[in-house]
Structure 1
Amino acid sequence: MASSRQQLDALTGLRFLAAAHVVAYHVYHLVFTGTEAPPGLHGLLDSGYVGVSFFFVLSGFILGYNYLERPPDTREARKAFWVARFARIYPIYALGLVFAAPAYFKALRDAWAVNPSEGLRHAQALVVTPLLVQSWTPWTAMAWNGAGWSLAVEAVFYAAFPFLAGRLNRLGSRALAVGAAVAYGAALVLPALYMVVDPDGTGGTASAYNSGPWMLALRFNPLARLPEFILGILAARFFVLRATAAPRSHPVALAVVGGGVIAALMGSPSLPFPLLHNGLLAPVFAALILLVSWSQGPVAWVLASRPLLLLGKASYALFLLHMPVLFAWKSVLKRLGEAPTSAWAVAAFVVGSVCLSVLAYERVEKPARGWIRDRWTRRAEQPTPGLQPRG
């Protein structure tokens, strides 16, 4: 059963900023193709893929924060946990697949026409993507709504969490420090090994848009990304241990860590892509999450404000829907003979995507989540008439 702890609203607002960074990254690469911004801005826009690492750490933190005190360690509790996770992610995930279907089937048709064997590999996404297992086969990970690969990774995290929580919730401060060091080392050992061996023969030129098969496996394999999730759980355990002390705000530390994240992203072209993609900044993200959670100053106030709170709640929909919307918008502009790089076209896409994400959150995500949880976990409880399902 989840804890009844107070919601950390500032983290919800922070989640929107991370999702917006991912959106900006895709706009930069898929709209402004061949155009390079000034160095610092280029690094910031070119590193949007790092947002997924942040989400993996945040996911571990949020689940740890809510469940570590009372982990789902019985069959009934595990079932309730897994149903709640499915209800949380799958409705919008399925909506994203529907939105992305036209682009996927067009790509499938084109691949089949050129090379039937390649088309057959592409067609495997029809089976694995709805089942949330596409990240186990790297060539299908981004075939149908590219952003969805991270949800296939999250599905493994959710499957493992009840078994991890029962062990990690007993760690003390010293064990947490050792565990964090081990998890961080585990996150970096495979990308470091890749850089040494260079199995794809990239000569150090691997990137998010230039990856060989081994790099794809490293980027998308759930086991390679599990340490980032565990770091988030360990951060939550540390947060819970500190909960008995008087809450403290650390504005200087927050400014240093936040500024350090921005500086690292701006300088990302000089950092090794395999390491940066697979958790190089994970401990920094964990520190940022902790500091924002402790913060009681203006930063926390802004992040927890009503507009950012709503946008943060809708950020999951924004993350999964923005790429299909972008492809559809580019197609419309092409038929109209308009340039996708014009200011009005980019602004229309951004505003439209954000509005669509809020609408999807309110009209699809919340109702579907309540319906699934009510039908699968509360049917036998005979709830009081008029009692509203939890969101």
Structure 2
Amino acid sequence: MKSSGGQRLLALDHLRALAAILVFYWHGMHSMGVRYDYVAGDWFTSLIEEGWVGVSLFMAITGFMFTVLTHGREIHYGQFLLNRFLRIFPLLFLVTLYSATYNKSASHSMMLLFNLLGGGVVFGTWTLVVEAQFYLAYPFIRDKLVRMRDGNVVWWATIFSCAALVLLMTILRAAYWYKTGEAQTMSYWTIFGRTDDFVSGIIAGLIYLRFRNRPRIWWSPIALAVSVLALLWLNSIFAQTGGFYNRPEYPSPSPLWIIYPTISAIAWSSLILTYCLFGRHFEGTLARAIGYLGAISYSTYMLHFVVLIFAKQAAESLGFLRLLPGRALENALLVLTIWHLPITLILAAISYELIEKAFLNKRRPYLGPRQGSTPAMPQGAGLSPSGAPAP
């Protein structure tokens, strides 16, 4: 599906798919009995076992997408928010209603929905609260972060502004750690930690804009390889030294959580930048097929919680819940891959085609020429404003 004003960037959809799959396996493995203190033995399984890092990828994608999509344009705030509403609310409402009915509290379903504004959790929708906070703020703070002069980015001023915002959030995390003895809660669950992802995505988007029209970028494969290896190494080191739940407990008293959001944000934004530069001209059946998994990533995220509830019971009744006895991680990966994931993707595709698209088609352009300047690129050129759902 095209955006409201341009084409999709398939490489970015690939990364959306990756983020959704990481979160799917993160929740799925632990629902299948993999211990929270399990430590994977290699880089790949470390990434899967610590799949919560998909949240950082989703948030960074949001910053990247907004930057490329709106660069050099004026944002009409009301229409911008309406498009965001059409993107996330219909499926959010349906899943909230299901959650309330499933938990036998249907009469309070609307109250559960409104509680999201205060950080309520319905099937993991806390991330949409953080996303909504970015939606509300971005049109106002964009010009304070991305400094422009005569239509060009003033890089030193932009980097200084972005670094200052990250520094502010780091100081607030440090103050929270000093007061409560832990910073993990603030760093992971709130905008005070997720701002680092968003701002890093903005910087990655600006660098992408600088290079994307070059006919050939010979160094992009090398940069992508370095980014992937650095990300896998970083995640493996984090997992081997305690991971999310064992540093040495949850929430962790380690001061590492004060600065880890920044480190993680830089790693994921580097992956976004290098992969999108490398994949500027992706096309063909395989690229579009993987891109479709990114297009349905919001439904994948929202519905995988529901699937994990009944698919596990169905797998147990069919006798293949334990295909590899005594190997918890490998067994969970196998069962999730051959059973839970296909069901999730099928339901996500139905949800996307019948529910999401019905509302996405009602979106309208929200970008205009910046006052005192000539229009830049066409709205949405190369990107979809469909949002970056986060778990």
Which TM-score applies when normalising by structure 1?
0.73
2:113 to 112, 129, 151: 129
Aligned partner of 1:233 in structure 2 is: 202
Tell me, in whole angstroms, the C-alpha distance in 2 between the residues paired with 1:329 and 1:39: 28
Aligned partner of 1:221 in structure 2 is: 190
What is the 5 A alignment of 1:29-48? Answer: 29-34=30-35, 36=38, 38-40=40-42, 43-48=46-51
Tell me, in whole angstroms, the C-alpha distance in 2 between the residues paired with 1:338 and 1:158: 46
Tell me, in whole angstroms, the C-alpha distance in 2 between the residues paired with 1:198 and 1:302: 52
Shift of 1:352: 0.3
Aligned partner of 1:252 in structure 2 is: 222
Query: SS of the counterpart of 1:248?
Result: coil
Aligned partner of 1:113 in structure 2 is: none
Shift of 1:286: 1.6
CA contact (8 A) 1:219 1:277 kept: no
Q: Which moved further from structure 2: 29-38 or 248-257?
A: 29-38
More helix by share: 1
Tell me, in whole angstroms, the C-alpha distance in 2 between the residues paired with 1:125 and 1:238: 44
CA RMSD of aligned residues (A): 3.6
Shift of 1:59: 0.3
Structure 1 345/50 Cα, relative in aligned 2: closer, same or farther at 3 Å?
closer
Structure 1 32/341 Cα, relative in aligned 2: closer, same or farther at 3 Å?
farther
Aligned partner of 2:123 in structure 1 is: 145
1:192-223 C-alpha deviation (Å, 9 max, x unpaired): 555555536xxxxxxxxxxxxx7434432234
2:288 to 295, 299, 306: 306
Aligned partner of 2:136 in structure 1 is: 159
Aligned partner of 1:330 in structure 2 is: 312
2:231 to 261, 279, 282: 261
Tell me, in whole angstroms, the C-alpha distance in 1 between the residues paired with 2:320 and 2:101: 22
Structure 1 348/304 Cα, relative in aligned 2: closer, same or farther at 3 Å?
closer
What is the 5 A alignment of 1:35-114? Answer: 36=38, 38-40=40-42, 43-72=46-75, 77-103=76-102, 105=103
Q: State the aligned residue count.
A: 335
Structure 2 unpaired stretches of 5+: 245-256, 324-330, 367-384, 387-391
CA contact (8 A) 2:299 2:348 kept: yes
Tell me, in whole angstroms, the C-alpha distance in 1 between the residues paired with 2:339 and 2:228: 30
Shift of 1:257: 0.3
CA contact (8 A) 1:60 1:231 kept: yes
What is the identity, as a one-letter code, of the residue corresponding to 2:181?
Answer: P
Which protein, 1 or 2, shows the higher relative CO under an 8 Å CA cutoff with sep ≥ 6?
2
1:49-77 C-alpha deviation (Å, 9 max, x unpaired): 111111111101101111122131xxxx1
Tell me, in whole angstroms, the C-alpha distance in 2 between the residues paired with 1:194 and 1:338: 48
Q: Which moved further from structure 2: 289-298 or 187-196?
A: 187-196
CA contact (8 A) 2:90 2:355 kept: yes
Aligned partner of 2:370 in structure 1 is: none
Tell me, in whole angstroms, the C-alpha distance in 1 between the residues paired with 2:30 and 2:231: 21
Aligned partner of 1:23 in structure 2 is: 24
1:316 to 263, 280, 298: 298
Which TM-score applies when normalising by structure 2?
0.73
Tell me, in whole angstroms, the C-alpha distance in 1 between the residues paired with 2:286 and 2:116: 32
Tell me, in whole angstroms, the C-alpha distance in 1 between the residues paired with 2:273 and 2:35: 38
Please state if 1:278 is matched with 2:269: no
Aligned partner of 1:209 in structure 2 is: none
Structure 1 4/332 Cα, relative in aligned 2: closer, same or farther at 3 Å?
closer
Shift of 1:28: 1.4
Please state if 1:9 is matched with 2:5: no
Query: SS of the counterpart of 2:130?
Result: helix
What is the identity, as a one-letter code, of the residue corresponding to 2:225?
Answer: A
Please state if 1:356 is matched with 2:325: no
CA contact (8 A) 1:321 1:357 kept: yes
